[in-house]
Amino acid sequence: MPDPNPQALDFLLTRRSRPAKTLTAPVPSREELLPLLTAALRVPDHGKLEPWRLIVLEKPALARLAARVPARAEALGIDEGKRDKAVAQFRDADLAVAVISAPKQSDKVPRIEQVQSAACVCLSLLNAALAAGWGANWLTGWPSHDPEFCREGLGLAEGESVAGLIHIGTETVAAPERPRPDVMALTEWRSA
């Protein structure tokens, strides 16, 4: 017989990300962040490979990353609007956690499952932050997909990539509700 947890289910049915640009200080302290990071790592991890790692980016680190964006944008031919948006994502943030996908060599666990596990870390961290009362948002953007930016700015090794940047802070503006997917339109039921 199931042992339901109605509060957890209600949270999942009503959760919503908060726009990163509406998040500000205060942000979780290291002590407040640790249980959120611990919860984030309780994800499916086939083979117990731990194919991910976390980089906590505090304000000075985010400012350093923001300063690196213009040169990479110029080198890649990124237009001014996308460049400015990327600069703002780092410059205006007070705290973000970079979830790094770090697949391990395995004959048993395919790389795609390891990458998906890192995505699960992103969602678990997002939900843990929201459940703890913080505003949170999962972002990426072109710098997160640029190998040189990631190598030089975040210290990523060969084969590693950014699964997500989880911005966490205090919500300054209530996030508007938005339309949600129609579960019946997206679900197929099969009984044979």
Residues 6+ apart with CB under 8 A from 169: 23, 24, 25, 26, 27, 93, 94, 95, 134, 135, 136
Q: Is 15 annotated as a binding residue?
A: yes
pLDDT in tens, 93-121: 999 999 999 999 999 999 999 999 999 99
- Please state the pTM of the whole predicted model: 0.95
For the chain, what are the domain ranges? 17-171
Pick the CATH number of 17-171 from 3.40.50.1820, 3.30.70.240, 3.40.109.10, 1.10.3720.10: 3.40.109.10
If 0-12 CB within 10 Å is exposed, 13-18 middle and 19+ buried, where does residue 155 land?
exposed
* Residue 32 pLDDT: 98
* Residue 175 pLDDT: 76
Give the other-Cβ count within 10 Å of 40's Cβ. 24
Work out the average pLDDT over 29-55.
97
Residues 6+ apart with CB under 8 A from 60: none
Enter the DSSP assignment of 154. I
Work out the average pLDDT over 144-160.
97
Q: Is 38 annotated as a binding residue?
A: no
Work out the average pLDDT over 140-166.
98
Q: Is 172 annotated as a binding residue?
A: no
The values of phi and psi at residue 145, to 5°, are: -105, 0
pLDDT in tens, 71-94: 999 999 999 999 999 999 999 999
Q: How many residues does the chain have?
A: 192
Nearest to 144 by CA among 65, 81, 77, 79: 65
Q: Is 16 annotated as a binding residue?
A: yes
Q: Is 145 annotated as a binding residue?
A: no
CA 181 to chain centre: 21
Among 36-40, 44-48, 174-178, top mean pLDDT goes to: 36-40
Percent of the chain with pLDDT over 90: 95
